[in-house]
Amino acid sequence: MTDQNEIPRALKLWFRAGDVFEVRVLEAVTAEYMRPHVESGYFDFEYIEAAAEALARLRGYRGAYVTVNPVNSDLLATCMRRDLIALLDLRRESGDCLYALKGWENSRGAKAEIAVAKFMDLPVCFEMDLTFGRKV
C-alpha cells in the first residue's frame, strides 16, 4: 500500500532540516483497532523515514495527508511525553523492550527515549540488531 522510498523522497521536497510536520491518515485500520478511524503523528525532518514506516504498519486506510505549513516543534515534545509515559509502563511489564527503528541516531526524540531507557535499566532492541534485548 505504501512505497517506502517514494514517501520520504516526496516529503523531502516539502520540508527542510529542523522542520516538524504532521501526518494524518483517514479511515485507518490497525491491528489494535479494526474500525476505521483517524490516525495522526508528528515527525521531524531528521527522522522522515519514520512517516513511511508508520504508514506501512497500518492494515489499510482511505487517504493520508501532511501539513505543509511548519508545525510548532512543541507538539513533537508533547508526543514525546506520551512516549516517555509508555516507557515507564514498560518497566512494569516483563519481557518488553524499547524498540529503536533504523535511523534512530538521527532523531532527537529517539535519542531521548533511549537515554531514559538506559537510566531505567530497560532493554533496548535495535531494528538492525539480530540479538534483540541487548542492553544499551
Amino acid at 61: Y
| 132 domain residue, yes or no | no
**Does residue 1 surpass a pLDDT of 50?**
no
Q: What is the mean pLDDT of the chain?
A: 78
Q: For 25-34, write each residue's pLDDT tens digit.
A: 999 998 888 8
Where in 67-123 does DSSP place strands (E)? 98-100
pTM of the model: 0.56
Q: What is the pLDDT of residue 91?
A: 58
C-alpha cell at 130: 539480530
| 99 domain residue, yes or no | yes
Q: Is the domain of 62 the same as that of 79? A: no
Q: For 40-96, write each residue's pLDDT tens digit.
A: 888 888 888 888 888 888 899 999 999 888 777 776 666 666 666 666 665 555 557
Could you tell me which of 48, 41, 56 has the C-alpha nearest to residue 15? 48
Give the C-alpha separation, 56 to 110, whole Å. Answer: 19
Its domain, for residue 105, covers 74-126
Torsion sign (Cα): 51, 48, 103, 83: negative
Given 66, 92, 115, the domain boundary residue is: 66
Q: Which residues pair with 44 in a beta bridge?
A: 20
How many folded domains does the chain comprise? 2
Q: Is the domain of 15 the same as that of 61? A: yes
Q: Is the domain of 47 the same as that of 80? A: no
Q: Is the domain of 118 the same as that of 90? A: yes
